[in-house]
Structure 1
Amino acid sequence: MGRKPTLQIGGVLILLFWTITAFVNHVGLLCFAAVLGGYGVGATFVVLPLYLSEVSDSRVRGSNCSLFFLMFSAGILYGSFMHQYFKKTAACLLSLPIPIAFLFIINCSWTPESPYFLVAKEKFAEARRVLLDLGMKEEGKYVATDDLIEFDNVTVHFHRGHDPCRHMFRIKENRNALFTQAIIFMVQVSSSYVPILFTSMNIFIRVTGDMRPAPAENLYSAIQLFGSIFCFLVIDSYDRKPLLLTSCFIVIAGQICLGLCYYFDSEGIHHVHSWVFVFVTSFFIMGYSIGLGPIPWILMAETFGPHIRSLAASGLVLMVSIFLLSIPRVFLQIAKHLGVYMACWIFSAVVSLGASCIFFLFVETRHKTIHSMANDMEEEMLYCGEDPRRSQLRLIES
């Protein structure tokens, strides 16, 4: 179908979800709306990072893709404020999801299709025209982007008759990329961001007395937004690997410290002031939002060659969805039977193991063009067993 039609369909589903949610109170229709919203958000989480990566110059690709997580964090903060002070219909209208979804659909109608999707469909002339349109202008003339400079070489990596699924698992480099990206997403979910926030809400009630946990939600959402802004500002100035490992280190330290706080408090060894829990949780959220939150979505669009990127992204988002359903439940079960501190320590060990794998397996992608990353993997040369110049000649002749 292409990136544009998929994004438009996702926008329509999200628009239907918010429209039904705002004006309908029937349980069956609300469940139906939730299904539509799930499909819409799922499609958007797969396609939008890919599209942002494929239409961005390599020098600003990281910041453009990190906007995805930044705006997601901003939406959480704004939506939490609206739903605390207004009823359902008013909150849905004032938080502006309906007009934003409508504008998203309209915007997708005039934005260009991804040039790399066009190349995958062997529409080379149209792809080159899109790359020219995306180029920067200086003194009225187009200046070619890095990807356009290497455009003629990109066609080497696309061939008729190759099954993307078979291609993804047959080539060693593709398998390694899929394994590394799966580990990164596993570390992201194993940080236990969601269940730690759930348990921290109870701590915030102790801090604020009889107040609802709404102030905690606002505080933590604001910290996540601040961390997302920091990532947006530095992601193209520093390599992905140091930022990701720094984020992992802060998350591990936060989990260990939270575990110690819960251990001392629950075992009666030493009373831990409730504001210490709030501070450590805030430290944990900051560490998560500067790396483990946004960077896996950026890497999902950068790691794979254009020929298999859509399939790999779909599989990874499905895997993340399964992790998000299972890992928080495992965390809460461990917390119930062994204590919250033991759950924090167990998952800190999991994140530590994942961070070690990232240290040894991760291949840097910053400022590399999509072609150069595919060339590093040599995916088509290994697959075809032929001189790439002969492959290119065969494509031109056909």
Structure 2
Amino acid sequence: MEYDEETRPLLVNDEEISEDRLEQDSYLNKVKNGKLYMATFAAVLGPLSFGFVLGYSSPAIPELTRIQDPKLQLSTDEASWFGSVVTIGAALGGLLGGWIVGKVGRKLSLMFCAIPFIFGFTSIIAAQNHWMLYVGRVLTGLASGVTSLVVPLYISEMAHERVRGTIGSCVQLMVVTGIMGAYIGGLFLDWRWLAVASSIPPTLMLVFMCFMPETPRFLLSQGKRREAVEALRFLRGPDAPIEWECARIEEACKNEEQSLSLSDLKDPGVYKPLGVGIMMMVFQQFTGINAIMFYAETIFEQAHFKSSDVATVIVAATQVVFTAVAAFVMDRAGRKALLILSGVTMCVSEAVFGVYFKLTVMKHDNSTLLSAVTDVPQTPQTDLAWLAVGSMGLFITGFALGWGPTPWLIMSEIFPTRARGLGSALCVLTNWTCAFIITKTFQDLMDLITSAGTFWMFSALCALNVIFTAVFVPETKGKTLEEIQAHFKGT
């Protein structure tokens, strides 16, 4: 084969890359993933708990607004706080997680965050007044914030590049499974017993994580080589020549300054992934996903759908199915393609949902989303109810395929070791701050620009995230963490 002069200087590097790939493939062919999957299952019980926290408000709020006990009954504004205050705790949890994950490691951080989950749900179970309800939501939010930071890091540092996308996507899969579990539980359980059921996953996580290893990358960064070798042997199986991977991680750790200083913010290997990570979290929340999931049942009530509680379960089940599809294809289709497909799908679906509200709720003054709709025409256009369910289902499908799992996965992949704790903490803080803004102002947006206008605004923001993805988000499929970091540095 002939090569021109422009191509010839690259051949040496291409040959080196090819040799590295062959060596890497030879190693990975000997890896057994059974115990890696077991450790992943133990870790993703945290996101399952997190999903129960997110989903809990949808069935609980209608019940708490109708309860006869004046000490517990929530007004419209109080119900709004009950739904959104969890995001304040989660934002604080993101900051706490960024500090604790570097101090005590990934494993112990996960075990510690089970405690506020359990105490938070206990506070709700035993609630005698509004403040006990709020404290329970803040505590479970705090645990959710720590979980949303630590679990993606734990998984990305345990996994190898062949399965990192797939098992990394299991984080979001378990979140949406928890949401669906809360919705289904809400069909059969009152709000106290639903809180009891929600406390089971974090209890199991605390127990199971006792038997799982710390990540080899963290152990090597702390100079604990013997423990790192044992962890790799546990995760890769008895046949893998783990010294090869251990040496590769060790070399990467030696090239990293373990302390992060302000001057490092001038390093493109730090500020570029930080910018990408933060903007992805902004765009994820400004799709409106948390507002839609927090208030799914009342949205369907406002859209005149007769069985609103069943509709929310159908929507949640759709999200579970397509998040599982995303996990299956993540390491085949790539992150970037799924993000673009996801953004386009959400843009179209929210535009259609806006049209639905424009057609059917024109006489509704949006004065209260959480109370009974009193001024809706007595004969609503029920023949268009399928449009509400269809557009909501399409939105959830799109979100689940890309913008649900992928930002968390990419966050866990793009930061260098020295910036991983701080970078991830800033991403989680951004995510949950935006989530609070959206969930707390969702009712105000519905009042100010109408239901249709609110969904059209979210649709426009989804169009923007497609452009952002195409221009700025790198493809990380099949790359080692070191190769991803080299991309941002331009080397």
Q: From the superposition, tell whether residues 199 and 48 of structure 1 become closer, same or farther in structure 2 (CA, over 3 Å).
A: closer
Q: From the superposition, tell whether residues 204 and 87 of structure 1 become closer, same or farther in structure 2 (CA, over 3 Å).
A: closer
Contact kept, 8 Å, 2:281 with 2:428, in 1: the verdict is no
Equivalence for 1:66: 169
Contact kept, 8 Å, 1:195 with 1:331, in 2: the verdict is yes
* Structure 1 residue 25, shift from structure 2 partner: 3.2
Contact kept, 8 Å, 2:446 with 2:454, in 1: the verdict is yes
Q: From the superposition, tell whether residues 302 and 177 of structure 1 become closer, same or farther in structure 2 (CA, over 3 Å).
A: same
Q: Does 1:154 align with 2:154?
A: no
Structure 1 residues 18-65: Cα deviation after superposition (integer angstroms, max 9, x where no partner): 233334435444433333222212111111111011111111111111
Q: From the superposition, tell whether residues 219 and 90 of structure 1 become closer, same or farther in structure 2 (CA, over 3 Å).
A: same
Equivalence for 2:356: 261
After TM superposition, list the pairs within 5 Å mapping 1:307-386 onto structure 2: 307-378=418-489
Q: Which moved more, 1:54-63 or 1:170-179?
A: 170-179
- Amino acid in the other structure paired with 1:344: F
Contact kept, 8 Å, 2:229 with 2:242, in 1: the verdict is no
Equivalence for 1:115: 216
Contact kept, 8 Å, 1:183 with 1:354, in 2: the verdict is no
- Amino acid in the other structure paired with 2:397: M
Which residues of structure 1 form unaligned runs of 5+?
Answer: 382-398
- Amino acid in the other structure paired with 2:212: T
After TM superposition, list the pairs within 5 Å mapping 1:71-86 onto structure 2: 71-86=174-189
Structure 1 residues 80-131: Cα deviation after superposition (integer angstroms, max 9, x where no partner): 22223222343333x3x43432221122222111222223323344334422
Contact kept, 8 Å, 1:20 with 1:29, in 2: the verdict is yes
Q: Does 1:39 align with 2:142?
A: yes
Q: From the superposition, tell whether residues 12 and 342 of structure 1 become closer, same or farther in structure 2 (CA, over 3 Å).
A: same
Contact kept, 8 Å, 1:185 with 1:296, in 2: the verdict is yes
Q: Does 1:170 align with 2:273?
A: no
Aligned-CA RMSD value: 2.7
- Amino acid in the other structure paired with 2:222: K
* Structure 1 residue 283, shift from structure 2 partner: 0.7
Contact kept, 8 Å, 1:146 with 1:369, in 2: the verdict is no
Q: Does 1:280 align with 2:385?
A: no
Equivalence for 1:17: 120
Structure 1 residues 196-219: Cα deviation after superposition (integer angstroms, max 9, x where no partner): 45477444565544x5x2112211
Structure 1 residues 285-313: Cα deviation after superposition (integer angstroms, max 9, x where no partner): 11111111111111110111122111111
**Equivalent position SS for 1:235:** helix
Q: Does 1:51 align with 2:188?
A: no
Distance across 2 between alignment mates of 1:289 and 1:8: 27
With structure 2 as the length reference, what TM-score do the two structures score?
0.69
Q: From the superposition, tell whether residues 88 and 151 of structure 1 become closer, same or farther in structure 2 (CA, over 3 Å).
A: same
* Structure 1 residue 165, shift from structure 2 partner: 5.0
Which residues of structure 2 form unaligned runs of 5+?
Answer: 1-103, 364-380
Distance across 2 between alignment mates of 1:24 and 1:201: 24
* Structure 1 residue 378, shift from structure 2 partner: 4.1
Distance across 2 between alignment mates of 1:234 and 1:62: 9
Contact kept, 8 Å, 1:120 with 1:158, in 2: the verdict is no
Give aligned-pair identity as a percent: 21
* Structure 1 residue 267, shift from structure 2 partner: 5.5
**Equivalent position SS for 2:201:** helix
Q: From the superposition, tell whether residues 333 and 165 of structure 1 become closer, same or farther in structure 2 (CA, over 3 Å).
A: farther
Contact kept, 8 Å, 1:258 with 1:280, in 2: the verdict is yes
With structure 1 as the length reference, what TM-score do the two structures score?
0.84
Distance across 1 between alignment mates of 2:265 and 2:290: 32
- Amino acid in the other structure paired with 2:394: F
* Structure 1 residue 147, shift from structure 2 partner: 4.5
Contact kept, 8 Å, 2:303 with 2:388, in 1: the verdict is no
How many residues were matched structurally?
A: 370
* Structure 1 residue 264, shift from structure 2 partner: 3.6
- Amino acid in the other structure paired with 2:194: A
Q: From the superposition, tell whether residues 92 and 347 of structure 1 become closer, same or farther in structure 2 (CA, over 3 Å).
A: closer
Contact kept, 8 Å, 1:231 with 1:290, in 2: the verdict is yes
Contact kept, 8 Å, 2:353 with 2:387, in 1: the verdict is no
Distance across 2 between alignment mates of 1:66 and 1:230: 10
Q: From the superposition, tell whether residues 281 and 168 of structure 1 become closer, same or farther in structure 2 (CA, over 3 Å).
A: farther
Distance across 2 between alignment mates of 1:236 and 1:130: 24
After TM superposition, list the pairs within 5 Å mapping 1:226-241 onto structure 2: 226-241=321-336
The one of 178, 183, 201 equivalent to 2:279 is 183
- Amino acid in the other structure paired with 2:475: E
Q: Does 1:127 align with 2:228?
A: yes
- Amino acid in the other structure paired with 2:276: T
